[in-house]
Amino acid sequence: MSQKKPFVGGQAVIEGVMMRGPEFIATAVREPSGNITIQKERLTSITDRYPILKKPMLRGVVALAESLVYGLKALSFSAQAAGEEEESLSTKEIAMTMVFSLGLAILLFVIIPTFAAKYIHSAVTDSRLLNTFEGILRLAIFFLYIWGISLMKDIQRVFQYHGAEHKTIHTYEAGEKLTVENIRKYSRLHPRCGTNFLLIVMVVSIIMFAFLGWPDLWLRILSRVVLLPVVAGIAYEIIRFAGRSNARWVACAITPGLWLQKLTTREPSDDQIEVAIAALNAVRPDQEIEVKTNVG
């Protein structure tokens, strides 16, 4: 039996992969020249200064916020390294991008489905049914969004790197040597994927919001926005448990999220797997590896 490894997470970026280990975070990108360049930095978290934020529910909200910040930094670096941008985003630009992204998410997954649900109010009076319909509509928008972006050629390439990330993490967790040959045989689907997390967020929100009654439209929208951290905290604890459990019922519960990853991942090429290997090697806690470090 292989020794249990510390959690390593990741994210696909433009022509590369970002990996996050216990102490370091690294983004490996294939440059136009064919070389792999790596940006590596030590992880810092607000939970180190305020340990209470490591408690269940709170840690999920913090982890999500920090993942967004690190993810945007990784995307900015990858765009620059891949030759698509001249310089990395500033702190102000990252903050503005996060605010814009959050606003767009609220518009698509909160305001539009909440507003649309009022049109069946004349036919359905039970608030739980109305809220459930709203949640199903939110889920449908989510599926359509994923399906729509999966058709874009540039996004399909990012999804190939997403598959390379998952396969490489699977190989690392199995205790095997990180080679292209070993990685090839593993699944491109992973239970701790962010796609699973988002799907769990949708399902948890349907259940939670079903019992909020049917107040005025602005109150419905406000309640959804205010409770988003609670929903995210619950979803984080669920996916954290799923990542550690081998129970059969857990495997069944996360199966829909794995199915959805068939859209958000693609089979990677060998050179894409090599990039994922470089990123994971830079953060793995079981060895010290010298890498080229860029400060972005």
Task: Render pLDDT for 127-175 as a digit per residue (tens, 0 to 9).
Answer: 899 999 999 999 999 999 999 999 998 899 999 999 999 999 999 999 8
Question: In this predicted structure, which of 1-10, 89-98, 136-145, 221-230 has the lowest mean pLDDT?
Answer: 1-10
- Is 295 within a domain? no
Q: How confident is the model at residue 178 (pLDDT cuts 50, 70, 90)?
A: very high
- Is 3 within a domain? no
- Is 201 within a domain? yes
User: What confidence tens digit (pLDDT) does each residue in 234-291 have?
Assistant: 988 888 887 677 777 777 878 888 899 999 999 999 999 999 999 999 998 765 444 4
Q: What is the pLDDT of residue 144?
A: 94
The size of the chain, in residues, is 296
Pairing of strands 24-30, 36-42: antiparallel
Q: What is the pLDDT of residue 149?
A: 92
Where in the sequence is the domain holding 164, given as residue range(s)?
9-283
H and E: helices and strands count for the chain: 13, 4
- Here the tokens at position 34 are 């064919």
User: What confidence tens digit (pLDDT) does each residue in 180-193 have?
Assistant: 999 999 999 998 88
**Cα-based angle 130, 217, 145 (whole degrees, multiple of 5):** 70
Is residue 31's pLDDT more than 90? yes
Residue 40, SS3? strand
Q: What is the pLDDT of residue 86?
A: 64
- Is 292 within a domain? no
CB-based contact 266:18 (threshold 8 Å): no
Report the number of distinct structural domains present in the chain.
1
Q: What is the pLDDT of residue 244?
A: 74
Q: What is the pLDDT of residue 89?
A: 66
**What mean pLDDT is reported for the chain?**
87
- Is 4 within a domain? no
**Cα-based angle 208, 64, 11 (whole degrees, multiple of 5):** 120
